[in-house]
Structure 1
Amino acid sequence: MKSLDFKAALVSLLLLGVFLGIWFAATQPSGGAAAQSAGGAAGMTAEQIEYQKMMGKDPGSQKTTGFPTLGQMGAAMAKQLSDPFYDNGPNDKGVAIQLGHSLGRVALGFLIACAVAVPLGFVIGMSPLLHKAFDPFIQVLKPISPLAWMPLALYTIKDSSVSGVFVIFICSVWPMLINTAFGVSSVKREWLAVASTLEVRPLRRALRVILPAAAPTILTGMRISMGIAWLVIVAAEMLVGGTGIGYFVWNEWNNLSLTNVIFAILVIGVVGMMLDLMFARLQKMVTYVE
């Protein structure tokens, strides 16, 4: 198993090296472009140089247009990570502060969804009547894009941050609810029969028999919900603005800083991977292996 993990790590590093090599080769200026850019500033008027600076470009640099090079990306990442907690006003905050706002909204909306979906999923999973009664509503509401709720949330709540939490809640609740109900309804009949024979009380049966048996399925629903929530919060923050990693991406795009946009994309991906690994570890802990 360790040998397989080692080989997989080598393949991953090889793929990363290939990707970075392609990036490096694709962003190298051609000979003519390099010569032109070297003397570009000297051949510009003062008005042209000022216009280039207004557009976020450096007229004297070797590469003023196109996709950023690996060197430019490295410089941007070093600058962002050197002081991730700076706060220079509403539109100029460090990436750690923006990330904290996003994680806070995701955590709050996700916890509220857990408080609603898990108990309700238990009730639906234990009652065939309620399962059939709730199923039409779940099937109608589940396919609706979470962002479609944003205008209604902004109109009724009138607070962009709270509206973002509501959107996280509405997108997180359905996978958890469906997986909880499925896990509860799939508990082996033999285990429930033994609990009935021993005259176990309903609450004790739910906590000591049904919950441990359904826990892997419930954690699967939570894992799916967290992945969706992290996807949605970025788009929601682009719409409502203010704070958050999604707003950071949109603000840097408006500032014509493609390097910071790519850096934020990498941060979003790394944080999403860490959240998924956390739920994968929890799921493995509650899974019974015969």
Structure 2
Amino acid sequence: MVSAVFHSPRDIAPPVAASAERNATHSIAESADASGAKAVKHPKTAARPQRDFSALWLRVLPPVLGLALLVLVWELVSLGTKASIPSPKDTFLQAVVLFSDPFYSNGPNDQGVGWNVLSSLKRVAMGFGLAAIVGIPVGFMIGRFSFLSNMFNPLISLMRPVSPLAWLPIGLLVFKGADPAAIWTIFICSIWPMIINTAVGVQRVPQDYMNVARVLNLSEWKIVTKILFPSVLPYMLTGVRLAVGTAWLVIVAAEMLTGGVGIGFWVWDEWNNLNVKNIIIAIFVIGIVGLMLEYALIKLATAFTFEEVKS
């Protein structure tokens, strides 16, 4: 059975007409796309990117507010003590006069603040350097060999809590001089953080590293230089940073007791002269120098620290 479907002539569009209609539609669409692209490509007014200052503002505002609070409290204390404590303005004017010539010298007991700071830094460098020469190798040996660890741990636990100034009379008795005694005090207070942090770093080296060294039959020198030292370096630098902070704290107190040229002696000498302005200036100088030392060592430690330790 055959069925046929019949269409009216109106329902049948000529092929040429249909093709022309499609081409016209495509042309209109392409022209619309082209005009839209041109409009997007060449806008009349380009929007400028806005800068976000919120992060910078959050970094700058808190320190500024903290310093403003310090100055406010300082001013209130000065008013409450009837100017027995100099005001921030008077101290600032005195600092301008003092730092206009920080390296003057009118004899051994009258020198500028610059010479006093340099003398203190020299003592700290000598005592700290001797502590590093002795403390870091001792820390390596204590961390490397359990026998030495068991032998020295009780001694370190006994000596470490002793106040550094308690060692000053021993230094005066042994070395018969103020400068060697101050350097000895710096040495004895700086050596414990270096020993402890270095030993802890050696003990935390993964055992797999040591097993590989044993399989390869590496010498002790190669174990120290190729395996232990790179792994222990972040811990060692942390001990160095703690030691420098402690040394800078101790040298001020040691110089107050021993005399001579130094920032601690300068503070004590200004107290004897009842010059409170210079004492406050010295406090800020001590804090700024300590902050600079801390910042420099943090940058050094960051440069030699692995990413997982930084985080």
Question: Considering the TM-score relative to the shorter chain, is it more than 0.5?
Answer: yes
2:286 maps to amino acid: I
Q: Percent identity?
A: 42
Tell me the alpha carbon deviations over residues 111-149 of structure 1, each in whole angstroms, 9 at most, x when there is no partner. 000000011111110001110011111111111111111
Asked if 1:7 corresponds to 2:58, the answer is yes
1:103-122, aligned counterparts within 5 Å?
Answer: 103-122=121-140
CA distance in 2, matches of 1:101, 1:13: 32
Aligned equivalent of 1:139: 157
Letter in 2 for 1:271: V
Is it true that 1:94 corresponds to 2:112 in the alignment?
yes
Q: Residue 82 of structure 1 corresponds to which residue in structure 2?
A: 100
Indicate the SS of the match to 1:144: coil
Change beyond 3 A, Cα 1:28–1:134: closer
Alpha-carbon distance change, 167 to 26 in structure 1, aligned in 2, over 3 angstroms: closer
* Superposed displacement of residue 3, structure 1: 5.4
What corresponds to 2:33 in structure 1? none
Answer yes or no: is 1:264 the counterpart of 2:282.
yes
1:26-76 CA distance string (max 9 Å, x none): 43599xxxxxxxxxxxxxxxxxxxxxxxxxxxxxxxx8x511122211111
Alpha-carbon spacing, 1:29–1:147, altered in 2? closer, same or farther (3 Å): closer
Structure 2 distance, partners of 1:276, 1:128, is 33
Question: Does the residue aligned with 1:101 lie in a helix, a strand or coil?
Answer: helix
Q: Unaligned regions of 5+ residues in structure 1, if any?
A: 31-62
Does residue 1:198 correspond to 2:249, yes or no? no
Distance 1:213 1:3 in 2: 39
Distance 2:217 2:72 in 1: 67
Q: Which residue of 2 aligns with 1:177?
A: 195
The question of 1:16 aligning with 2:16 is answered: no
Matches within 5 A, 1:203-222: 203-222=221-240
The aligned amino acid for 1:193 is N
Q: How far, CA to CA, are the matches of 1:5 and 1:244 in structure 2?
A: 39
Larger Rg: 2
Aligned to 2:88: 70
| Structure-1 separation of matches of 2:273 and 2:169 | 26
Secondary structure, counterpart of 1:91 in structure 2: coil
Report the TM-score when normalising by structure 2: 0.79
Secondary structure, in 3 states, of the residue corresponding to 2:170? helix
Give the CA deviation at 1:6: 4.3
Q: How many residues align?
A: 256
